[in-house]
Amino acid sequence: MGLRLYNTLARKKEEFVPLEDKNVRIYTCGPTVYGFAHIGNFRAYVFSDVLRRTLIYLDYNVTQIMNVTDVGHLTSDEDVGEDKMELTARKEGRSVWNIARFYEDFFFTDAQKLNLQRPDIICRATEHVDAMIELVKKLVEKGFTYETAQAIYFHVPLFPNYTKLSRQSLDEKIVAVREEVQEDPEKKHPADFALWFKAIRRFENHAMQWDSPWGMGFPGWHIECSAMSMKYLGETLDIHTGGIDHVPVHHTNEIAQSEAATGKRFVRYWLHNNFLRVEGGKMSKSLGNLYTLGDLEARGIKPLSYRYFFFTAAYRTTLNFTWEAVGAAQSSLNSLYKFVRQAKREGALGPEPDWAREYRDQFNKALEDDLNTPRALAAVWDLIREANRRQDYNVLSVLYDFDKILGFDLEQTPLEEELPEEYAALVAERQKAREAKDWARADELRKELEDAGILLEDRPEGTIWRRE
Ligand code: AMP
Ligand code: ZN
């Protein structure tokens, strides 16, 4: 059948054909590093990770670029408000540079815990200001811009079909923008957006600023992605990914400025993930439900269980976070590990049975159909059910292949189940009590573990445990 992907531009699933043979050039809008990435943000990156892994699995050569926005992203996606980085720096009493590196490191540590493959190039906006200035110069030369006392703007009415990605009418767009406070009286059209902010007036004390043909200043958020993607991937990219919230402003502006500059189509396939909601509602600081991966870990949810949770919904549908649902995902993943452990113990390394072919097909078809991860997971469980029914465990090679996309580290599954941390702590405490000859306490702890279904046996070589 071949890979089909839902292209936001066409509003339908399309057969995926790269521009050049089997080479795929992907740009992934990366994090703005002004705070801890929350569990919603990671939906965007787990999705782009599955896309990347699927393409590699299907024998494409992937070049994926991800940016790190460390300047220019204002508190509103339009041109109002303050630079998010500067705001955090002021709140936390640290330099913007310090903030940027700190949250960037944090992001990649969490990304690693989620087994996200590292994109081939990670580029920071602050290290590509030259490329951004060049792109703005090109737009100035081509007459798409105008200058005010405060900024260089892209003049939207000069670009035909500006709203082709969002399919909003320009009037709707103008109404949306007018709800925001206009901070530059010289702006000609409400939808015009800044390519370059000058370091004057509200940005006079902006900590990050660079010299440019228009004086000291800093780039707008949208131009960053256009400049960096085209620098590394050429003027036409195969795929551009991001969250669905980027459609009406950020990606719409990226198309306008890139295509105005090159006269070529900027992106062939626009892919957008839908949102994660928490307990049916929006996530926000004020509601206290803006969880990080660390918050999940503190409540006993392993990062890979959270990865599993993402797969329970296709990336284009909303996904609802509840503690119950991630707990269920963790149980499912544990059952998967249990099966692998059992198959490993059986020494199941014989030739892959013919009957498994069907499940490989089922899995591949699911992914080829716009990365349908719930159906791919169903194929995993159907395979396991069949293996158990036939008592034929020679399917590890199939599962390990699936794991190239699932990323659960199945091959590293230890032969012995790991005792959950809270119980391991009790076993250790009992050991200490025994060494101190405090038999009463040791018995108490043994009883406590027994009540939880963990049975202990003291052997000369040490204490072993098993489940009831
Ligand atoms: P930011 O760091 O704010 O630029 O956002 C990083 C990415 O996370 C973007 O692609 C957003 O679209 C995405 N995003 C933000 N909130 C959510 C959410 N609740 N669910 C899914 N994706 C989100
Ligand atoms: Zn972007």
Report the DSSP pairing between strands 319-321 and 276-278.
Answer: parallel
Nearest CA to ligand 1 atom 9: 243
Given a contact cutoff of 8 angstroms between Cβ atoms, the answer to whether 342 and 299 are in contact is no
Can you tell me the distance from the alpha carbon of 268 to that of 265, in angstroms, rounded to the nearest whole number?
7
Can you tell me the distance from the alpha carbon of 235 to that of 226, in angstroms, rounded to the nearest whole number?
9
Residue by residue, pLDDT tens for the chain (468 residues) are 799 999 999 999 999 999 999 999 999 999 999 989 999 999 999 999 999 999 999 999 999 999 999 988 888 877 788 888 889 988 999 999 999 999 999 999 999 999 999 999 999 999 999 999 999 999 999 999 999 999 999 999 999 999 999 998 887 777 666 555 567 889 999 899 999 999 998 899 888 999 999 999 999 999 999 999 999 999 999 999 999 999 999 999 999 999 999 999 999 999 999 999 999 999 887 788 899 999 999 999 999 999 999 999 999 999 999 999 999 999 999 999 999 999 998 877 778 999 999 999 999 999 999 999 999 999 999 999 999 999 999 999 999 999 999 999 999 998 878 788 788 889 989 999 999 999 999 999 999 999 988 888 888 777 888 877
Cα of 86 from ligand 2 centre, angstroms:
19
Q: Which residues pair with 424 in a beta bridge?
A: none
The 3-state DSSP class for residue 281 equals strand
Cα of 27 from ligand 2 centre, angstroms:
9
Ligand 2 (ion): residues with CB under 5 Å are: 29, 225
Phi/psi of residue 38, nearest 5 degrees: -100, 175
Can you tell me the distance from the alpha carbon of 28 to that of 66, in angstroms, rounded to the nearest whole number?
5
**What's the pLDDT tens digit per position in 203-228?**
998 889 999 999 999 999 999 999 99
Can you tell me the distance from the alpha carbon of 53 to that of 69, in angstroms, rounded to the nearest whole number?
24
Point out the ligand nearest to the CA of residue 27.
Answer: 2
The 3-state DSSP class for residue 270 equals strand
**What's the pLDDT tens digit per position in 250-298?**
999 999 999 999 999 999 999 999 999 999 999 887 788 899 999 999 9
The 3-state DSSP class for residue 240 equals strand
Given a contact cutoff of 8 angstroms between Cβ atoms, the answer to whether 185 and 80 are in contact is no
The 3-state DSSP class for residue 242 equals strand
Can you tell me the distance from the alpha carbon of 9 to that of 15, in angstroms, rounded to the nearest whole number?
14
For the chain, the structural domain boundaries read 4-273, 278-412, 421-467
Can you tell me the distance from the alpha carbon of 141 to that of 213, in angstroms, rounded to the nearest whole number?
12
Q: Which ligand 1 atom is at minimum distance from the Cα of 242?
A: 10
CA 67: distance to chain centroid? 12
Report the DSSP pairing between strands 193-198 and 151-154.
Answer: antiparallel
Cα of 113 from ligand 2 centre, angstroms:
23
Can you tell me the distance from the alpha carbon of 17 to that of 23, in angstroms, rounded to the nearest whole number?
10
Can you tell me the distance from the alpha carbon of 214 to that of 148, in angstroms, rounded to the nearest whole number?
10
Point out the ligand nearest to the CA of residue 29.
Answer: 2
Q: Which residues pair with 462 in a beta bridge?
A: 459
Domain 4-273 of CATH type 3.40.800.20:
no
Cα of 20 from ligand 1 centre, angstroms:
30
Q: Which residues pair with 267 in a beta bridge?
A: 237
